[in-house]
Structure 1
Amino acid sequence: MTEPNGTTPSSDDDQIRKILETLLADDEDITARAVARLHPSIKAASSITRSESRSRLLAEYQQRQADYRRWRRRVAKRSGADTATSLADKDVRIAELEATVQLLTASHLAMLRAIGELGGFSKWAKFYEHHREARDRLAGFGAIPTAPVSSMPAEQGGKKIKR
C-alpha cells in the first residue's frame, strides 16, 4: 500500500527512524512535531501520532532520550575519577556476565548431548514445545546441539542387542 505522496509506509518509517536517531544523537527534544518538521514528506505531527507503528517508534525513542538524559545528569554530578572507576567496574561486571553466559551455554549443550545419548532428547524437545521463545533464545545462544543425536542400543534381558 502506498501513501498519497507515493511513498510506502516502511520507507517513511525508515526515514523516521533516521530522524529519531539524529534527534537523539543531537540531544534535541524528540516530539512528533520535530520529526514532521525534519521529514521530507510528512508535514503534520498527526501523521505520526495517528499511526500505531510510528507512534510506538516515537515513544521508544522518547524513552531512550529520557534514559540518556537521566544517565547524563548522574554522570555530571560525579567526578571524572568516580565515573572512570564506575565504568571500569561495569566493564568487569559485563565480562563476568559474558563468561557466565558462555559457561552456562557450554553446560547446557553438554547436558543436552548427554540426554540425547541416553535417548531422552525427544522428551526434552517435547517439554520445550510449549516454550518456543525460550527454545529460540537457546538456539540463538548456540546452546542446542545441531548434529543428529543417536540413541544407545536397546538392552534385552541385561544384554545389549547388536544392530
Structure 2
Amino acid sequence: MEPVDLGVERYATVAAQLLERRAPRADVLRAHGLSEALFAEIERRWSVAMDDEDRRGGHALRDAYDVAYIKEWEAHRGPFELGDYARLTVAAERGHLAAALDSIGIRRTLWTRLKRVWAKRLAESRSLAGALQRELARQRELRSAEAHGVARNRLRAPGS
C-alpha cells in the first residue's frame, strides 16, 4: 500500500468507523487504503499532535477531530439531538449517567466528545442555549415526577 496522509477529519472518520465496530476492522482499513501498521502510525502522529496542542492550551485539532467523529457516528446512528443531550445531562446530575448511556448504547468516551461538541454549539448559539435550558427544566420535572411516582408506589401496601 502507498503511504496515505490523513487529515484530522479523515482520521476521525476512520477512528469512528473502527470504534463503533459496524464492520470488521480489516474491512474498514482496506476501504480507506490503510494497513494496520500505517493506521497505527497515523493514530500515533495525531495523538502526539493533539497532546502537544493541548499542553500549549490549544484545542483546534481536538475540536476538529470531535466534530468529524460525531458527524460519522451520527451518519450511522442518526442525529444526536437537543433532547438526547438534555436527558443525559439530567441523568449525570442525578448520578445515573452510566445507566442512561448504557441504555442507548453510548460509550463514555463518545459522551465526552458529545459534550465538547455540544458545548461549542451552545456557546455559538444563544437560541440553542435557551432551548437547552427549557428542555433541561422539562427533563428535570419529568425525572422528579417519575421518582415521586416510584416512591409513592413503594409506600403502598401490596394488594392496595
Instruction: Determine which structure has more spread, i.e. the larger CA radius of gyration.
Output: 1
Give the TM-score, by structure 1 length. 0.28
Give the TM-score, by structure 2 length. 0.28
Higher percent of residues as helix: 2
